[in-house]
Structure 1
Amino acid sequence: MAFLFNKFQDAVRILAKSPTFARYRRKLQFEDDINLLFMYTSYNRLGKNADEADAEEIIDVASKASFTDQQMQVQENVHFQIKNFCTVMDEILLPGSAVPMTRPIKRAELSLRLKDSIGYSLDVKPSQIPHNEASQGLYLNGEANVGAVIAIYPGVIYSPSYYPYIPGYPRVDARNRYLITRYDGIAIDAQPWGYGGETREIWDSSTMQETRPDTDETMLGKALENSQVRCSGEILERRNPLALAHFANHPTEETVPNVMVCPYDFPLTEKDLRTYIPNISFGNAEEQKVRRLGSSWFRRGSRNSGLDDWDSDVPVLKTLVLVATKALCDEEVLLQRPLWYYSVDEDED
């Protein structure tokens, strides 16, 4: 598939030189990122059976499709990968439909088995980035193709109305480098998740103090003091090998990022997959819904989109994933902070 990838990369370089990329307004940059994610994830989904005509069609659609259509196609492409990941996890952890308990596999062993199945897994170890704040880094073990979803951003999800409840508010970034915001203002705090755990359990963000990375307990307690608002617990797989996106560092000026942030709206109708989505919502947030608009590029062909239920309104959990922008092989994961990123506390300046 090398010739297809070269053709695809040429299209990406042309897009990067477009007049839109010269503008640094958040909305335009976000739309450009979705355009890139459309091409990366669509290319990945073509798989080994891709031919030159398929690659040409991706490039053509990327230049003509509306932003809404591209955004929804990215969601379908990402969900297609997430669904495959969940299937593999079930095959490893569930001994059979008649047995409700999961196999007592340690997190490290689960990571190795996942790598055997999908070709890669993740590890956290000292970063190679020469920066004081880059103590730990995220590493990919194995090989992943361009457009692959390599990590999920775990933790507690806050809608803008619940910002005051984020630990450390209003200066939430001061002591928490594991907080990130989506373009739509949804904030995700991965600090409570830490490195994960060793069981499948009901998680409400308060059950694993010993696994928090770089935690200031004084700061963590202030925002929720005297508050009756809490997180509702969910049964989550705390051994999830891909729930480590928050350990990815930003590259130096001399290095090039190899992943992009991608917003992912997980459809809560997919109840069998919920345990592998390492997020919970804070407070009694109104149910978020998404309506599938436009036409799916994959539906126009012979491929199944894998998201037939998205033709109508469905409740979603708004999270983030990291998508590879190049073929990766046994290397540190480096994340470029998108230009549409903003700090939760920037309006307090």
Structure 2
Amino acid sequence: MAFLFNKFLEAVKVLAKSPTFARDPRQLQFEADINRLFLYTSYNRLGRKVEEADAEEIIEMASKASVADQQKLVQENIHSQIENFCTAMDEIFLPDMNKKNEPGEALGQSDTARKSGLSWAVGKSGPPTVSPAIPETRPLKSAEVSWRLKDLIGYTLSLKPSRIPHKEAGQGLFVDGEADVGTVIALYPGVIYTPAYYRYIPGYPRVDAHNTYLTARYDGTVINARPWGSGGEAREVWNGLLVPEISPNVQSREKGSDRFWKMLNKPLEGIRVGCTSEVIERRNPLALAHFANHPAKGMAPNVMICPYDFPLTEKDMRTYIPNIPFGNSEEVNMRRFGSFWFRSRSKKSGADVPVLKTLVLVATRTLCEEEVLLNYRLSNSKRRPEWYIPVDEEEERRRWS
């Protein structure tokens, strides 16, 4: 098993430098990441009884298959794991798999339909809306859910003081149990902003000035995990209703490009947008990816970010996906031009399955009773924190080129 995994690691190093990747630095890094994720998640899906011939076939596919095909297979591999996770969560929560609530029955509706942490984060609540029914679940505390999940899938997550030796490390994310390479370790929770709604992110345009729980996908989707916090103690309706009134914090001695950016992207104030109401399980033990720390000097990351498009057709699994989209239900098509995003007139195929554009953390090696470490890949165009030690400067330049 160790021999085959070493072959995969060598393939990761070789294929990342393949000349078949795109010449555009940003696209090159995206393709290199997808290539690594394809190898890790495929290796995981083969299981512990993997044979050398199967491993070699995957390595060959990674060198020949198109990026689109690899991306599709990564999604399938991740989705298979998410399905297993959701099945385990159902086993923990549902008191009787055969019992169905009467039409309109909603247990605990008066408590859970109140204003949630998300609505507090994005603004004042609007007029009353019809909340979906909340199905009956076992009255378990988060801690109990966590150890039951460990019994079922072999690992769970916990928050403890980080072992990173700097004062800003705070709480760290730890694996309790053991997880194989290619395993989905954690889900990145929170509010999803597509480029069309950037100006509604709290604190815009300097959204990251006072919020360290923001992350972005290559496609421009931003996820704000601050409203999620460390989860909750119930299954509840999570809403996003009004946008906050945000005023720009204008600094003196701005560069010309900064003035142009702010003129083009003036914050929107007090404008109502569409909202969604979803029943979300807040006792989700894996919805803690935003607590993963960046490795200190001499330490190596043990997980990497993976984009995961959750198909909204999977109604039974929706409650375990700890995200909610901000804005109208109909996606606004946007196109990137340099550093800016513009509305696009192109229309998507009607056959496309609606998805939530989320993120998960995938293990890059076997993890056992240790802290989860993620390469933050902070942009080198901004002043970095004193504690930040780059893992790979070249990767960062490509990622943010």
Q: Same fold (TM over 0.5)?
A: yes
Confirm or deny: 8 A CA contact 2:276 2:329 kept in the other structure. no
Report the Cα offset of residue 205 of structure 1. Answer: 5.4
Change (3 A) 1:169 1:339: closer
1:323 equivalent in alignment to 2:362: yes
1:98 equivalent in alignment to 2:99: yes
Question: In terms of mean alpha carbon deviation, does 242-251 or 9-18 score higher?
Answer: 9-18
With normalisation by structure 2, the TM-score equals 0.72
Please give the alpha-carbon distance, in whole angstroms, between the structure 2 residues aligned to 1:320 and 1:331: 21
Query: Helix, strand or coil: the match of 2:362?
Result: strand
Report the Cα offset of residue 48 of structure 1. Answer: 2.7
* Equivalent in 183, 203, 227 of residue 192 of structure 1: 227
CA RMSD in angstroms, aligned pairs only: 2.6
Report the Cα offset of residue 338 of structure 1. Answer: 4.4
Query: Helix, strand or coil: the match of 1:49?
Result: coil
Instruction: State the match for 1:142 in structure 2.
Output: 177
How does 1:32-43 map onto structure 2 within 5 Å?
32-43=32-43
Confirm or deny: 8 A CA contact 1:263 1:320 kept in the other structure. yes
Report the Cα offset of residue 260 of structure 1. Answer: 0.4
Change (3 A) 1:20 1:68: closer
Unaligned runs of 5+ in 2: 101-134, 248-267, 334-350, 383-401
Confirm or deny: 8 A CA contact 1:182 1:341 kept in the other structure. no
1:240 equivalent in alignment to 2:284: yes
Instruction: State the match for 1:286 in structure 2.
Output: 330
Please give the alpha-carbon distance, in whole angstroms, between the structure 2 residues aligned to 1:40 and 1:113: 26
How does 1:43-54 map onto structure 2 within 5 Å?
43-54=43-54
Which has the bigger relative contact order, CA under 8 A and spacing at least 6? 1
Confirm or deny: 8 A CA contact 1:121 1:242 kept in the other structure. yes
1:270 equivalent in alignment to 2:271: no
With normalisation by structure 1, the TM-score equals 0.82
| Number of aligned residues | 309
How does 1:207-226 map onto structure 2 within 5 Å?
222=246, 226=270
Query: Helix, strand or coil: the match of 2:369?
Result: strand
Change (3 A) 1:288 1:126: farther
1:252 equivalent in alignment to 2:296: yes
Instruction: State the match for 1:293 in structure 2.
Output: none
Instruction: State the match for 1:5 in structure 2.
Output: 5
Instruction: State the match for 1:161 in structure 2.
Output: 196
Please give the alpha-carbon distance, in whole angstroms, between the structure 1 residues aligned to 2:171 and 2:55: 37
Unaligned runs of 5+ in 1: 207-219, 290-311, 344-349
Please give the alpha-carbon distance, in whole angstroms, between the structure 2 residues aligned to 1:338 and 1:168: 22
Q: Which amino acid aligns with 1:204?
A: N
Please give the alpha-carbon distance, in whole angstroms, between the structure 1 residues aligned to 2:226 and 2:8: 37
More helix by share: 1
Query: Helix, strand or coil: the match of 1:35?
Result: helix
Summarize deviations over 1:74-105 as a string: whole Å, max 9, x none: 00000000000000000111011315410001
Summarize deviations over 1:252-310 as a string: whole Å, max 9, x none: 23110000000000000100000000000001052489xxxxxxxxxxxxxxxxxxxxx
Change (3 A) 1:119 1:325: same
* Equivalent in 113, 118, 121 of residue 153 of structure 2: 118
Change (3 A) 1:342 1:124: farther
Change (3 A) 1:231 1:126: farther
Confirm or deny: 8 A CA contact 2:240 2:326 kept in the other structure. no
1:181 equivalent in alignment to 2:181: no
Q: Which amino acid aligns with 2:40?
A: Y
Please give the alpha-carbon distance, in whole angstroms, between the structure 2 residues aligned to 1:245 and 1:95: 28
Change (3 A) 1:285 1:205: closer
